[in-house]
């Protein structure tokens, strides 16, 4: 049996090499003929004739290289990985022109062979632009529009209060408390489920599944994403381990997608009235396909919503540990407007322009998604005389936008004042680009914005965030840096001192009543 497998393996390998070589030659000839007779591709770094820029791309932090290239080749640049066209855009204006105004061409998603190996892969974020994707977005918009999210305000307020109480009790666990707060809001809204502070079984499964899903789309993780023909390789064949990984990921995804939904369905069968997104969607579902769509929508919202909030709030604490002057100015504004006898609410937002600027700067300084979701062209197009072929992956480099020195002078510093005009009013830059563009913009941005702002303003109102001190009373620098993957970036784990600003502030938190909140 082993001899037969070895014989088959050798011939498969030969076939694969031949197929790949022929496809590359056809690609190069076709590209040469087209580009010679028509417009040219955008400028970009030199390419190897066969593999293009495959060896130029690092596995991690690709946005840093894209940003460096943009300084040499401009706001729109072209690279190639084997036969795959990739265009990187580093300008809000160009991205808006392509993704917003030409959405019919730029709203699809790049096919990902590793995701295709997962059964029932209907995650909204990976669906091509079409009827199923539109159905998913309609479900989301019903509950996540600017008006619809107002119904979540009391839930968010209660979870923020709980977060403040946790900071009083165990401030050294603030990174875990951030994650608990974000997950508590998302899980309550989606499934009417109260998340345990630690070791929640559903959360543990979901985090493992999301981590594996990130690996499936991370550039360079699996060769099959670059050479799709490798899908024919059997799992037992040398190099076929990606199929084992896909099978294991499928099991985790099934547990994540089915576990909480099945609990909701069971509770509904017993007659319990649940006021949450999944329950409302399930009331109108009649077919297996509709049920699958509901599971996929909820899973997508969980994965993206929780992770983005966690990343942003961790960055906020990281910034406050390093910029005391910014923290103090925000606290002075809150004290002047809100006073000391109550906690800030969302109604205070228009009256706190510096806190708003601080919120914007938190989003800009370390954007959660430094490289936006890749769009995929479904037709040929041209821009400023450049050819953009059909089937091109177009990547919005959010990091490059935030590091544009003409837009943001001294971009590495944390400076909320950059969002003010000379007359002292806020400018029009609301950093909306961090939530994506066009039809693919983040559907949960309104909910996420309120959660993050409410947390920031309440922490500033009640706590001081300072660097740790050594045995001699000297402050220990906080230079955590950030780590990234295909889903989001986070500060490396770091420590800081978090203490109530005054005893009165501590009492104000403790006297807040945590009521039993029905999910929305």
How does 427-442 read in b/e, with b if 16+ C-beta sit within 10 Å? eeeebebbbbbbbbeb
Distance CA 351, CA 443 (A): 26
Report which of 228, 188, 152 is spatially closest to residue 454, judged by C-alpha positions.
152
Q: Are 122 and 132 in contact (CB under 8 A)?
A: yes
User: How far does CA 373 lie from the centroid of its chain?
Assistant: 8
Strand pairing class (393-396; 84-89): parallel
Q: 381 has which bridge partners? A: 388
364-398: b (≥16 Cβ within 10 Å) or e: bbbbbbbbbbbbbbbeebebeebbbbeebbbbbbb
Where would I find the H helices in 230-286?
Answer: 241-269, 277-283
**Burial (Cβ within 10 Å: 0-12, 13-18, ≥19) of residue 417:** exposed
**Nearest-angstrom CA–CA distance, 57 and 382:** 25
Q: Collapsing DSSP states into helix, strand and coil, what is residue 109?
A: strand
**Is the dihedral angle over the CA atoms 330, 331, 333, 339 positive or is it negative?**
positive
DSSP 364-397: HHS-S-SSPPPEE-SS-EEETTEEE-TT-EEEE-
- Please, are residues 403 and 371 in contact by the beta-carbon 8 Å criterion? no
* 442 marked ligand binding residue: yes
Distances (CA, A) of 173 to 281, 343, 387, 513: 36, 23, 52, 22
**H or E segment to which residue 226 belongs:** none
| Three-state secondary structure of 430-490 | CCHHHHCCHHHCCCCHHHHHHHHHHHHHHHHHHEEEECCECCCCCECCCCCCEEECCCCEE
| Cα 40 from Cα 53, distance rounded (Å) | 18
The residues pairing with 85 across neighbouring beta strands, listed in sequence order, are 80
Alpha-carbon distance of 101 to 381, in angstroms, equals 13
Q: Angle 186-355-447 (CA atoms, 0-180°, nearest 5)?
A: 20
Binding residues: 442
Binding residues for heme: 442
């Amino acid at each position: 049996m082993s001899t037969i497998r070895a014989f088959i393996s050798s011939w498969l390998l030969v076939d694969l090499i031949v197929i790949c070589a022929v496809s590359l030659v056809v690609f190069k000839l076709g590209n040469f003929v087209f580009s010679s007779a028509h417009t040219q591709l955008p400028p970009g770094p030199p390419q190897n004739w066969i593999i293009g820029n495959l060896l130029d791309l690092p596995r991690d932090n690709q946005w840093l290289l894209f940003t460096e290239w943009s300084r040499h080749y401009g706001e729109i640049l072209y690279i190639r990985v084997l036969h795959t066209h990739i265009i990187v855009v580093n300008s809000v204006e160009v991205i808006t022109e392509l993704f917003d105004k030409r959405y019919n061409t730029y709203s699809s998603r790049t096919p990902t062979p590793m995701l295709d190996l997962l059964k029932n892969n209907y995650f909204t974020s990976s669906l091509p632009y079409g009827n199923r994707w539109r159905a998913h977005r309609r479900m989301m918009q019903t509950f996540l529009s600017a008006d619809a999210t107002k119904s979540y305000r009391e839930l968010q307020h209660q979870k923020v209060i709980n977060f403040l109480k946790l900071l009083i009790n165990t401030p050294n666990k603030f990174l875990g408390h951030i994650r608990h707060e974000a997950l508590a809001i998302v899980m309550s809204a989606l499934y009417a489920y109260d998340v345990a502070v630690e070791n929640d079984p559903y959360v543990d499964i979901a985090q493992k599944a999301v981590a594996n899903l990130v690996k499936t789309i991370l550039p360079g993780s699996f060769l099959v994403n670059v050479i799709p023909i490798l899908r024919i390789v059997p799992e037992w064949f040398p190099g076929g381990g990606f199929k084992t990984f896909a099978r294991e990921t499928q099991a985790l995804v099934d547990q994540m997608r089915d576990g909480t939904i099945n609990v909701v369905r069971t509770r509904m069968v017993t007659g319990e009235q649940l006021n949450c997104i999944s329950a409302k969607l399930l009331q109108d579902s009649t077919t297996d396909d509709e049920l699958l769509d509901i599971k996929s929508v909820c899973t997508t919202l969980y994965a993206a919503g929780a992770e983005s909030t966690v990343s942003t709030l961790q960055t906020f604490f990281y910034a406050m540990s390093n910029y005391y002057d910014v923290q103090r100015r925000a606290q002075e504004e809150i004290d002047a407007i809100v006073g000391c006898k109550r906690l800030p609410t969302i109604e205070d937002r228009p009256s706190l322009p510096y806190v708003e600027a601080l919120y914007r700067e938190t989003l800009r300084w370390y954007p959660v998604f430094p490289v936006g979701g890749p769009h995929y062209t479904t037709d040929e197009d041209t821009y400023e005389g450049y050819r953009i072929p059909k089937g091109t992956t177009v990547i919005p480099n959010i990091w490059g936008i935030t590091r544009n020195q003409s837009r943001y002078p001294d971009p590495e510093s944390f400076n909320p004042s950059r969002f003010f005009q000379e007359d002292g009013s806020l400018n029009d830059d609301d950093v909306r680009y961090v939530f994506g563009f066009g039809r693919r913009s983040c559907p949960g941005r309104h909910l996420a914005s309120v959660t993050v702002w409410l947390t920031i303003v309440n922490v500033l109102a009640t706590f001081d965030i300072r660097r740790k001190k050594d045995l001699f009373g000297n402050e220990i620098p906080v230079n955590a840096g950030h780590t990234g993957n295909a889903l989001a970036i986070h500060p490396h784990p770091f420590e800081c001192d978090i203490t109530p600003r005054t005893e009165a502030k501590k009492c104000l938190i403790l006297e807040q009543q945590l009521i039993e909140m029905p999910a929305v």
